[in-house]
Structure 1
Amino acid sequence: MVKSAVLGYPRVGVNRSAKKAIESYWAGNTSAEQLQETAKNIRKERWESIKNAGVDVVPSGDFTLYDHLLDHSFNFGVIPQRYVEQKLSPLDTYFAMGRGRQDRAKGIDVVASEMGKFFDSNYHIVKVDHSPSTEFSLKNNQQLNEYKEAKELGITTRPVLFGPITYLSLVRAGRDAPADFEPISLLDKLIPVYKQLLTELKEAGVEEVQIDEPILVLDKAEQQGDLFKKTYEALAPVAPKITITTAYGRVGKSIEFLKDLPIYALHLDLDREPKQLDEVLAALKPTKIAIELGVVSGRNIWKNDLKASKALADKAIAELGADKVTVSTSSSLLHTPISIKVETKLTPQQVSWLSFATEKCEEVATLAGALNGKESEAFEQNSKDIAARREFERTSDSAVRDRVTAITEEQLKRKSPFPARREAQKKHLNLPKFPTTTIGSFPQTKEIRVARSKFTKGELSKEDYEKAMEKEVGSVVEFQEKVGLDLLVHGEPERNDMVQYFGEQLNGFIFTQLGWVQSYGSRYVRPPIVVSDVSRPSPMTVRWSSYAQSLTKLPMKGMLTGPVTILNWSFPRADVTKEIQSKQLALALRDEVVDLANAGIKAIQVDEPAIREGLPLRKADWDNYLTWAVDSFRLSTSGVEDDIQVHSHFCYSDFGDIFPSIQRLDADVISIEASKADLKLLDVFKSYGYSNEIGPGVYDIHSPRVPSEQEIKDRIASMVKVLPADLMVVNPDCGLKTRGWKETEESLANLVAAAKWARETYA
């Protein structure tokens, strides 16, 4: 019989119960025991949802209070000394590693660990420091604990854990590690801890374990065959049956060594890479290895075409036999909302297109049933829904399509090279050396959220809502003038999210009410859904930037989210290419940029934090993506005169391998996350001779701690050793939306003071 499986499930809880409990604990309003009880209830909800959907293989061990990579480091006893020195409780130490901690009264002040993007998703992992002296020990067998917890509920689960090679490939070489140190060199130290963990699982009666090795979809894994052989030959004798999962791409040549590993099954992502199936089947057929087919997308929200998935599975059954085939999700479902069933404002037609985590579990179970000869009413209804969606996809906005077709090379270029633009901008903006600015958003207070909620529910008129937002804008402008910032922003109080806000004003998007997806920690977003051709019916931000500019003589910076980021942080269409969707967005934003400039806004920031994130995982696929991604940004920003200063912002990005594309963006100023990365990104800018202006973030906004003035001075001093002083802008790492006002005021006061010091020191 063909089995069904799910690789992982959202951790947010119904009505974002996880977020509420975690943030209540941080605020001191919930005890550690209460938090853990809430977490236990959420895990129960998750397991029961999957089981009730009819799925055979239910995952456990994938729940986390902050991040599952952080969990592994913490559970393996990898706790850098700076956290140990704070003498916090284990739970508070864990959270300090994720988000930092500062309590001046108690003498506690520690920065957070570095964050990075998880492959090509918008999920952030916490990368704990490792060094040659790192030792591992099994401090907590989370997988065993959750397996037993589920067992007490009458649910048998498949424990999930990061594979050791993926784990060491994702963590960080610590601040004090030698320059040539790579964490993968710690593998021999780590394997015994995995052996202990897996031995304990087997002794507890676990029959199968899921070991996630998504590193296998990267090019470098093809050179790691010896590491995989050594690792799994050591683990297999003491472990339950091992299923290795690969997500987000194709295994490529790695199948040449995977087929020889002592494992029970190999999982493939056939949503992203269906063409890899034939090659993998041919490799596995002579072996005893079973196959798990990831045919139901863990990354998108479109209803699965069960007939097409069945055809792929039938091919695998014909080659290997039904008992060696499992159908599953392509990845963990943490990238999707919990359920479409709670959405009351979508039309019946829209609901028929979509499938969230709970529905994807049902799809996997329905597909397995059909493969076992039990085609159900749900299977037949799926065929009707898919046909209806295909019919809708055939409609299009010809004006939008024609405009994309008519894009010219001239539309992708500013009128003059950067040196000429810079001179024009100096006169237009009149900014000092080491100009100070922020990335855009200011704290979203309770008052802002309440006003937005009342407006959304119809309890507050549009006029009253806009007056409330104008008051917030006025306060932000007044504060920036008072603290001494040079290039101001309006603070974005009217924006719910940097992507959702724009999607709501563009044609071609639909939105959920409760479609929350975890971004990092307790930060959740509701990604818009692109359903048809995208266009801008009217200006989106001009009203707010113009109002803010009317309140001050200092220059105001208009704030937009770039086309690639809007696309990557939405659920895109599956029927047309991302390139087409990105260029449609770029044309809409181009019109907005021109309107902002015509309204007297002298600087315009078009953020592209997702441009590196969206890079394909295989290098052979890079050129096409980078061409249209960079062209989309340039199309958005090149319609204005030389004296308009174009900014862009990037976060958690390793630019070294795509730096020529960063240069080709030709933004006048780019700001980057730099504080957590120990300024290592800046060496790349120096080595490539980057000549435009740059604002390396001088403090981490994802942590509640306030950096001292001296800390920021020291960071600027380090930056000036790498970058020309006359090209430097002083700004935080990212937007301030999630921070409180008190810490924001203190941090920016220290930032401005440090910038003034820099002007005197590097005159």
Structure 2
Amino acid sequence: MTQAKSSNLGYPRIGEKREWKKLLEAHWSGKIDAAELESETKKLRLEYLKKQRDLKAELIPVGDFSLYDHILDTAFTFGLVPQRFTGGADTAAHDENCNCASGAHDEEPAAAKDAGTKFFAPNEQGVYGLDAYFAVARGTKAFAASPMTKWFDTNYHYIVPELQGLTPKLTVNRPLAFYLEAKEELGIDGKPVIVGPLTLLKLARGIENDRFDSLLDELIPLYVQVLKELSEAGAKWVQIDEPILVLETSDEDAARLRKIYEAFDAATPELNILLQTYFESVSRYEEVVQLPVQAIGLDFVYDRGRNLAALEKNGFPQDKILGVGIIDGRNIWRSDLSVKLELLRRIEKAANAKELFIQPSSSLLHVPVTTRSEEKLEAKIKNGLSFADEKLAEIATLVKALNEGEEAAAAEIKESVDAVAALNASPERNDESVRDALGKLDANRPERLSPYATRRDVQAKHWPLPLLPTTTIGSLPQTTEVRQARSKWKKGEWSEAQYVEFLHAETERWIRIQEEIGIDVLVHGEFERNDMVEYFGEQLAGFTTSSFAWVQSYGSRCVKPPILYGDVKLLSPMTVTESAYAQSLTDKPVKGMLTGPITIYNWSFVRDDLSRAVVQNQIALALRSEVSALEEAGIGMIQVDEPALREGLPLKREDWQAYLDDAVYAFRASTTSVQDVTQIHTHMCYAEFGDIIQAISDLDADVISIEAARSHGNLVSAFEDDTYDKGIGLGVFDIHSPRLPDQSEIESIAQRALEVLDPAQFWINPDCGLKTRREEEVVPSLKTMVAAAVALREQFAKAGAAGGVGATGDQI
């Protein structure tokens, strides 16, 4: 009989009430030093481990905790710090991420004083210390942060390792330090977690063409040293994450993979390795399961049935343990455990393994901590939810059913079946008016009244904008005063009239600031919005919002996705009042601001009983009504943001086109009801846009803005091979870093773009919204951006007068 053990792959870092976030930000603002940051985060770590033990997890991950990002942790473990942060970088890091409450700086570098923790081992220059770590993640006055991008197809962002000219070296054995901490403090013999070398290198940038294999050869002995030291300390299991294996795996990478794990097996034969994959099916199942490791972890939730099909076709090695990712690690819905148990029986039969590890499909990093604090949710919704703690309880129930028989877990299984059935039967999931509206949609792709070339001319006459017009992406600083005002209103401490008066005052103040700076197309600032998706989730039927369902997006930035549990429709206009008020204050155009259907879908916790396409189209029809209401109110520029379009792209290329076709359909269903003179904008950020250039064009937005600052303008290369004929703004400064941009940097990024884009179609804007930045950072940055735009216009004017460069950028 197959025996089962409960295994977890990773636990949320942020805490039930975002305690982790608050500690990080207290450190960055100088309120606590590195020693206090370490001692307080240690308390959180130990609390997380104890909780997992109490929830009957038998293989508890250690080393999954991070102070920013696990990929950045791995890079620092192996000394892979970008060269610009070496040498005198730590002094610069201290300038920006200052821990001196007074603002005064001693001559001794901060890293040498307060960043020598057991997880960061600074050398004599402090290069690998905590201040340098945060400098790489966040940037400094002197140096730009490392690039940041999406973690596979999730809304989590990782810091991209930059390996140009670097030689790996082990700085500190972080997995060992975490393992010993759990063992010594709690008596927990944990399962250290580390990102594998193939995934680390494949996700990195700056590797010269002929250096990949030499870097791998340098890394393998360092990993071996980490594993040996873990083994010597008594570790029985190590989890090595290689999610890169769910992407298309080349023959070269398959050979590299064998080389890596043969080396690990030869050097540490007594250590058990769980090779863990997630987010999709492995691309080379037959080869992966034959690697010399003791267990293979597979995702049976997001594999589209492919892992299961490969398992049933090819079987599973009898000398290995199968890690069964059966509980959804990325969404929040309670499992019908009878269905899960049926799938487990099928997997058990196909694997014919002596032992199974029952696991979430991925790290629980992507879900909130516990439903325990959600006291305001309706019972039928709360009972249908499962956050990290509840998922571990579900796993324990499945293990009990497998090991002791289904009758031993009958009560828990029935409770899950009843909860899921009650939610599915609710009126909110069976709204006939929504179903009727979807049934009336034309199967053909929705179209604007006229093609872009015609609209461009109509809009140019209506909007007399200068060459290289300037704008922002939408949100402006959400100050403490703004958040406090919203909180007072929600708690009933302020009346509706008081709150509206505050919003009007803040909106007018920022309209005047934007006018004074000289921005051409203004925004109202979104001061009424807590989050670009949650705000809409609070107003659309079919959504509800939580109190504490926070998840990490990047760094200390946490989001609280709305819960999309029912059929979606617009109840009343959501944004018209604020946009119309802002437009009444100025003669300049003010953009209406909406979040698009693909992003609302991707950034919500979405019901799992309907297909993606159906739910996206429900959202699209609701937004279409809002777009029409904005247009009727006199808002002539409407931005429908889709920053998550690329992140939702399936991991297997064979699935891309169907996803993109559905995404384009939903966006156009949202936006094509307007007249030619109404200008539709959209925004995307932090993605590999070369993959979706055609889909971006197919959206048929009049203007698109895209992040280009962290990629230092290299994104432009995507447009060298694929012509883009609509308006476009490549973000010219990084809003996620506190450093202020130089005018020369902005001009350089824009000039690089103008090598391949027509100046007549080019806009100047930041790379994302400005809500997380302080006013004293935003105003000078925007002034610099406008000054750069003016300087560039003057360059074009002089070149044109001299017979050099024409309006299209061609030589004349």
Q: TM range, normalised to the smaller chain? A: over 0.9
2:79 to 77, 80, 87: 77
Q: Which residue of 2 aligns with 1:140?
A: 172
1:97 to 136, 159, 167: 136
Shift of residue 611 of structure 1?
0.5
Q: Which residue of 2 aligns with 1:120?
A: 153
Structure 1 residue matching 2:130: 3-state secondary structure: helix
1:307 lines up with 2:338 in the alignment = yes
Mapping 1:232-631, distance limit 5 Å = 232-239=261-268, 240-252=271-283, 254-273=284-303, 274-280=305-311, 282-321=313-352, 323-373=354-404, 374-375=408-409, 377-392=411-426, 395-408=429-442, 412-631=446-665
Q: Aligned partners of 1:192 and 1:399: how far apart in 2?
A: 63
Shift of residue 276 of structure 1?
2.2
Q: Aligned partners of 1:14 and 1:613: how far apart in 2?
A: 26
Q: Aligned partners of 1:182 and 1:506: how far apart in 2?
A: 52
Higher mean displacement: 439-448 or 275-284: 275-284
Higher mean displacement: 238-247 or 214-223: 214-223
2:716 to 675, 682, 698: 682
Cα deviation code 1:515-549 (max 9, x no counterpart): 10000000000011111110001111010010000
Structure 2 residue matching 1:643: 3-state secondary structure: coil
Cα deviation code 1:388-440 (max 9, x no counterpart): 23333894211211211211267711111111111111122211101000000
Q: When the two structures are aligned, how many residues end up with a matched partner?
A: 751
Judge conservation of contact 1:166–1:214 (CA < 8 Å) in 2: yes
1:196 to 207, 225, 228: 225
1:87 to 86, 90, 94: 90
Judge conservation of contact 1:169–1:184 (CA < 8 Å) in 2: no
Task: Give the letter for the 2:659 counterpart.
Answer: Y
Q: Which residue of 1 aligns with 2:246?
A: 217
Normalized against structure 1, the TM-score is what? 0.96
Mapping 1:4-43, distance limit 5 Å = 4-43=6-45
Q: Which residue of 1 aligns with 2:751?
A: 717
Structure 1 residue matching 2:736: 3-state secondary structure: coil
Q: Which residue of 2 aligns with 1:106?
A: none
Task: Give the letter for the 1:17 counterpart.
Answer: E
Structure 1 residue matching 2:649: 3-state secondary structure: coil
Task: Give the letter for the 2:563 counterpart.
Answer: I
Task: Give the letter for the 2:288 counterpart.
Answer: L
1:228 lines up with 2:257 in the alignment = yes
Structure 1 residue matching 2:148: 3-state secondary structure: strand
Q: Which residue of 2 aligns with 1:55?
A: 57
Q: Aligned partners of 2:775 and 2:613: how far apart in 1?
A: 39
Shift of residue 322 of structure 1?
6.3
Q: Which residue of 1 aligns with 2:760?
A: 726
1:705 to 739, 742, 761: 739
Shift of residue 351 of structure 1?
1.1
1:149 to 171, 181, 187: 181
Q: Aligned partners of 2:27 and 2:244: how far apart in 1?
A: 34
1:160 lines up with 2:163 in the alignment = no
Q: Aligned partners of 2:139 and 2:678: how far apart in 1?
A: 38
Mapping 1:738-753, distance limit 5 Å = 738-753=772-787
Judge conservation of contact 1:477–1:548 (CA < 8 Å) in 2: yes
Cα deviation code 1:300-351 (max 9, x no counterpart): 0000121122122223333445642111100000110000001110122111
Judge conservation of contact 1:429–1:602 (CA < 8 Å) in 2: no
Higher mean displacement: 240-249 or 133-142: 133-142
Q: Which residue of 2 aligns with 1:2?
A: 4
Q: Aligned partners of 1:709 and 1:276: how far apart in 2?
A: 51
Structure 1 residue matching 2:543: 3-state secondary structure: strand
1:205 lines up with 2:215 in the alignment = no
Structure 1 residues 221 and 160, CA gap change in structure 2 (3 angstroms): farther
Task: Give the letter for the 1:616 counterpart.
Answer: P
Q: Which residue of 1 aligns with 2:94?
A: none
Q: Aligned partners of 1:720 and 1:161: how far apart in 2?
A: 42
Judge conservation of contact 2:90–2:131 (CA < 8 Å) in 1: no
Higher mean displacement: 212-221 or 378-387: 378-387
Q: Aligned partners of 1:589 and 1:334: how far apart in 2?
A: 31
Q: Which residue of 2 aligns with 1:105?
A: none
Judge conservation of contact 1:242–1:265 (CA < 8 Å) in 2: yes
Q: Aligned partners of 1:221 and 1:377: how far apart in 2?
A: 47
Task: Give the letter for the 1:266 counterpart.
Answer: I
Structure 2 residue matching 1:129: 3-state secondary structure: coil
Structure 2 residue matching 1:539: 3-state secondary structure: coil
Structure 1 residues 59 and 221, CA gap change in structure 2 (3 angstroms): farther
2:693 to 659, 671, 694: 659
Q: Aligned partners of 2:710 and 2:149: how far apart in 1?
A: 10
Judge conservation of contact 1:604–1:646 (CA < 8 Å) in 2: yes
Cα deviation code 1:1-38 (max 9, x no counterpart): 31011100100023111111111111111110011111
Q: Aligned partners of 1:588 and 1:286: how far apart in 2?
A: 51
Structure 2 residue matching 1:14: 3-state secondary structure: coil
Shift of residue 186 of structure 1?
2.2
Structure 1 residue matching 2:606: 3-state secondary structure: coil
Shift of residue 224 of structure 1?
2.4
Judge conservation of contact 1:259–1:283 (CA < 8 Å) in 2: no
Shift of residue 475 of structure 1?
1.0
Cα deviation code 1:569-624 (max 9, x no counterpart): 00111111010110111111111111111111111111001110001111111121
Structure 1 residue matching 2:281: 3-state secondary structure: coil
Q: Aligned partners of 1:748 and 1:69: how far apart in 2?
A: 32
Shift of residue 710 of structure 1?
2.1
Judge conservation of contact 2:318–2:353 (CA < 8 Å) in 1: no
Higher mean displacement: 402-411 or 467-476: 402-411
Paired-residue identity, %: 45
Structure 1 residues 260 and 348, CA gap change in structure 2 (3 angstroms): same
Q: Aligned partners of 1:391 and 1:236: how far apart in 2?
A: 52
Cα deviation code 1:704-739 (max 9, x no counterpart): 010022221222222222222111100000000000
Q: Aligned partners of 2:72 and 2:418: how far apart in 1?
A: 43
Shift of residue 221 of structure 1?
5.3
Task: Give the letter for the 1:379 counterpart.
Answer: I
CA RMSD, aligned part only?
1.6
Structure 2 residue matching 1:2: 3-state secondary structure: strand
Structure 1 residue matching 2:733: 3-state secondary structure: coil
Q: List alignment gaps of at least 5 residues for structure 1.
A: 103-108
Structure 2 residue matching 1:188: 3-state secondary structure: helix
Judge conservation of contact 2:321–2:353 (CA < 8 Å) in 1: no
1:635 lines up with 2:669 in the alignment = yes
Q: List alignment gaps of at least 5 residues for structure 2.
A: 92-110, 112-128, 798-812
Structure 1 residue matching 2:607: 3-state secondary structure: coil
Structure 1 residues 312 and 275, CA gap change in structure 2 (3 angstroms): farther
Q: Aligned partners of 2:622 and 2:471: how far apart in 1?
A: 26
Q: Aligned partners of 1:430 and 1:551: how far apart in 2?
A: 19
Judge conservation of contact 1:168–1:184 (CA < 8 Å) in 2: no
Shift of residue 227 of structure 1?
1.2
Q: Aligned partners of 1:409 and 1:384: how far apart in 2?
A: 37
Cα deviation code 1:68-122 (max 9, x no counterpart): 00111111101112111323411111001001012xxxxxx11100001001000
Judge conservation of contact 1:202–1:238 (CA < 8 Å) in 2: no
